[in-house]
Amino acid sequence: MFASTPEPPYYVVVFTSQRTPGDQGYADMGARMFELAHGRPGFLGAESVRNAEGAGITVSYWESTESIAAWKADAEHRVAQELGQQRWYERYAVRIARVERAYDWHAAPRAAG
């Protein structure tokens, strides 16, 4: 779940979406896009959650706006984007933002029982 990202600055793409009902090939394509993005120059990581009602947020992290633009223009990704509009999404929003500050926190190991 948790992406390991470098010190800021870097970029984040926030993709908020509402799925249509049913899978219709979505899970397979999602896995393929995840795999494909991982191989792209400038890709730093991604985190994604979808709930039982089909609402989802995916955040992907990138070194630069150029690497984001190149990923958006990728031929196989463009096919997925097209199918997304035809089949998989009712609605989505995309925001591209420059990460300026980041911090995280882990629980100390909790005693069992």
Q: Is 70 in the site for its own copies (CB under 8 A)?
A: no
Contacts for 87 with CB less than 8 Å, ≥ 6 apart:
20, 24, 25, 26
Nearer to its own copies, 42 or 56 (CB): 56
Contacts for 35 with CB less than 8 Å, ≥ 6 apart:
none
Whether the Cβ atoms of residue 41 and residue 5 lie closer than 8 Å to each other: no
Q: Is 7 in the site for its own copies (CB under 8 A)?
A: no
Q: Is 1 in the site for its own copies (CB under 8 A)?
A: yes
Residues of this chain that interact with its own copies (CB under 8 A) are 1-3, 5, 8, 11-12, 14, 16, 18, 20, 47-52, 55-57, 59, 65, 85, 89-107
